[in-house]
Amino acid sequence: MSTLLALTVAGLVTGCIYALTASGLVLTYTTSGIFNFAHGAIGMIAAFFYWQLIEWGVPTLPAFLLAVLVLSPLMGVVVERIMIRRLGNASLEVTLTVTVGLLLLLIAIANTVWDPLTARRVQPFFGSHQVTVGGVILSYHQLVVIAAAVVVPLALWAFLRQARTGVALRAVVDDRELAALTGASPSTVGMIGWAMGAALAGLAGVLLVSQVELNAITLTLLVINGYAAAVMGRLSNLPLTIAGGLLLGVLQSLAIGYVTISWLNQVQTSIPMVFLFVALLIAPPTRLRVGQLAPLLAPRVPSARRSLQSALVFLAIAALVTAILPAGQVASVTHGVAIAIILLSLVPMVGYGSMVSLCQLTFAGIGCVAMAKTGGSVLGLVVAVLAPAAVGLLIALPTMRLRGLYLSLATLAFGYAMDDNFFSNSSVMTQTLGLPVPRPLGIDGPRPYLLFVTAAFTVCALGVLALRRSTFGRRLVALGDSPAGCATIGMGIRSTKLGIFALSAGLAGLGGALMGGQEGVVGYTDFPLLLSLTLLLMAVVWGVRTISGVLLAALFFELIPHLNGQLGPVGNSVLSLLVGLGAVGLGKNQNGIVGTLLQKTSGLTKLPSLPHPRRAADQGDQPVREEVLTGAQS
């Protein structure tokens, strides 16, 4: 009984941290309608800053106040002013990608300023002082965490209901236009909401840092565990959010203390993501979106004849480049073209269907493992496509009613769980030797293999364009534009979603198998979730609705390590700045680099859009006023 009580108390302490970070996430989301994927990274930066102040000799309390009440709110204000305010009624893939870019930028900045190879530890508040409460030993630091989890929600409740600014914040959330008519400034109120949310992220990061090693990625992912609690509260209900955080912490603590089965021990770190997935599945059904809220620039679909002509020209140029390419660069270009096939899998799903997947590299890893296990024959290549396609179907089936942001979070949970329990499993690949991956069809030599991978990309690109011209492609675009309209005319939404999930996952699996064949041996770190987010960022920045956009994104991604080597010690900083600038630029050019160029040359056709003050209906999470297809209020 004493063990159960001790584990429960320890879980409640961890749950308090989850509740705090989730409360900040809910606050920023409700004030802007944008889910901040960089929430955990803000908390991580605050934790590093707190450690640095302590190292400089600043006393604990001033360091805590500077990190939580000065730096964190300042980051929230800067992010809202520079990035979030520019987004307007941007589409879901753009809003998610902008915050993903911020997450990657903050991690890169932390690794540049603070050497990731140096071990750092932060002492808990009040050192090792402890107190016994009901037979359970609690440190003073744990008491501080519990007190913060009690005081902060009560203060938020009082602020939102008693303070004039809090009432204005609630008013902006309910009706932005009406609040503006009463004298409230939606922009100012939104900035305050982001400052408060960032302060809560910083608070969670500083409270958590003494329990783990000070590492940028570790801290960011631990704070991300609060996503599950935020979804439990439907991204709007603070009491449910806090309850979800406490429940998550207790479940995780009990699992660590009582689960002794070896294979179950491996899934303990994934409990928050399993909790997130279950919370998504049991949440009330979301409302169908009526119309596209953000103006899109749809690329003109080339005819079959023109597509074939362009493909032949591309292959001819590729053959010439392959012949004159220096031997030392052939492998790198091959890897880039294989990455382009993985990014190509985002075009039908994200570009056409507006369904954002955050785990495409996970599907690529499944295809790579399938190729390694079945050999490099034609059968192995087929299995490399069918295996991830089947997994994609399994993920799509329970998430049929999820849309927008919730569907993206479901793919995030899946990718996170696969990182911890599949790719790191010794029965899949050993951490020291890796997993040998044969080249398909026994192709030998780097240049012939480059030509084979390039031909595979070309065939897949022709297939994606043919899909866009087909009836299924038109259904897919209609589903991305207006699910409610598709349901009204009796279109099969379920079959369309299942089909595109399987197709996208299978295409990513093919790219992963070809990438593994080029590398020869892959390890458990070749398919991390953060790299999936990076690839999504690259695709959206360059143009996820165009074939040329994803190809350039892949080649630029492959070029980054070479630039890093040329730039020397400042390489990481410069390239991190480029990532951040790319994410910021999406606020102004939401169709990506290639999309913007095509727009200027009249290569894109602007589709009709609907005026709407918020994008919550686009993400299908809160009841808001919707517009009918004619633009009038319903």
The pLDDT value given to residue 608 = 44
User: Residues 266, 303: one domain?
Assistant: no
Whether residue 40 contacts residue 21, with contact meaning beta carbons closer than 8 Å, is answered with yes
Task: State yes or no: pLDDT of 49 exceeds 80.
Answer: yes
What pLDDT digit, counting tens, does each position of 408-449 carry?
A: 888 888 888 888 788 877 777 766 667 888 998 888 889 999
213: which 2 tokens?
């090693």
User: Residues 242, 319: one domain?
Assistant: no
Which range, 34-38, 151-155, 381-385, has the best average confidence (pLDDT)? 381-385
Q: What's the average model confidence in pLDDT over 357-366?
A: 93
Confidence category of residue 90, pLDDT binned at 50, 70, 90: confident
Rounded to whole angstroms, how far apart are CA atoms 330 and 326?
A: 7
Please identify which residue in the block is written with the tokens 């030993």: 137
In a domain, 12, yes or no: yes
Nearest to 232 by CA among 249, 244, 222: 244
Q: What percent of the chain has pLDDT over 90?
A: 27
Kindly report the pTM of this predicted structure: 0.85
Task: State yes or no: pLDDT of 91 exceeds 70.
Answer: yes
314 to 299, 319, 512, 538: CA distances (angstroms) = 19, 9, 22, 22
3-state secondary structure 172-205: HHHCHHHHHHCCCCHHHHHHHHHHHHHHHHHHHH
In a domain, 632, yes or no: no
Whether residue 395 contacts residue 410, with contact meaning beta carbons closer than 8 Å, is answered with yes
Selected residue with higher pLDDT from 182 and 632: 182
User: Residues 362, 422: one domain?
Assistant: yes
In a domain, 291, yes or no: no
In a domain, 232, yes or no: yes
Confidence category of residue 626, pLDDT binned at 50, 70, 90: very low
311 to 134, 447, 461: CA distances (angstroms) = 73, 19, 9
The pLDDT value given to residue 180 = 66
The pLDDT value given to residue 124 = 87
User: Residues 70, 115: one domain?
Assistant: yes
What pLDDT digit, counting tens, does each position of 198-245 carry?
A: 999 999 999 988 887 788 888 887 777 788 888 888 887 888 888 888
The pLDDT value given to residue 576 = 60
What DSSP string runs through 39-67? Answer: HHHHHHHHHHHHHHHHHTT--HHHHHHHI
Task: State yes or no: pLDDT of 156 exceeds 70.
Answer: yes
The pLDDT value given to residue 613 = 39
The pLDDT value given to residue 620 = 40
Q: What's the average model confidence in pLDDT over 303-317?
A: 93
In a domain, 239, yes or no: yes
| 27 three-class SS | helix
Q: Is 490 left (phi over 0), alpha (psi -120 to 50) or beta?
A: left
User: Residues 374, 418: one domain?
Assistant: yes
Q: What's the average model confidence in pLDDT over 373-396?
A: 91
Task: State yes or no: pLDDT of 617 exceeds 50.
Answer: no
Task: State yes or no: pLDDT of 284 exceeds 60.
Answer: yes
Domain boundary among 282, 317, 335: 282
What number of other Cβ atoms are within 10 A of residue 575's Cβ?
17
User: Residues 397, 450: one domain?
Assistant: yes
What pLDDT digit, counting tens, does each position of 526-556 carry?
A: 888 888 888 888 888 888 888 999 999 999 8
The pLDDT value given to residue 299 = 67
User: Residues 226, 343: one domain?
Assistant: no
Q: Which of 81-95, 390-404, 467-481 has the lowest mean pLDDT?
A: 81-95
User: Residues 205, 301: one domain?
Assistant: no
The pLDDT value given to residue 434 = 79
User: Residues 250, 316: one domain?
Assistant: no
The pLDDT value given to residue 459 = 96
Query: Which CATH number belongs to the domain containing residue 140 in this structure?
Result: 1.10.3470
What pLDDT digit, counting tens, does each position of 497-528 carry?
A: 889 999 999 999 999 999 999 998 998 888 88
Confidence category of residue 580, pLDDT binned at 50, 70, 90: low
Task: State yes or no: pLDDT of 633 exceeds 60.
Answer: no
Residue-range definition of the domain harbouring residue 252: 2-282
User: Residues 258, 113: one domain?
Assistant: yes
User: Residues 208, 338: one domain?
Assistant: no
Angle between helices 547-567 and 529-542 (to 10 degrees): 120
User: Residues 430, 540: one domain?
Assistant: yes
Specify which residues 590 forms β-bridges with. Answer: none
In a domain, 358, yes or no: yes
In a domain, 624, yes or no: no
In a domain, 633, yes or no: no
201 to 70, 166, 169, 540: CA distances (angstroms) = 12, 19, 19, 27
Name the domain count of the chain.
2
Selected residue with higher pLDDT from 284 and 321: 321
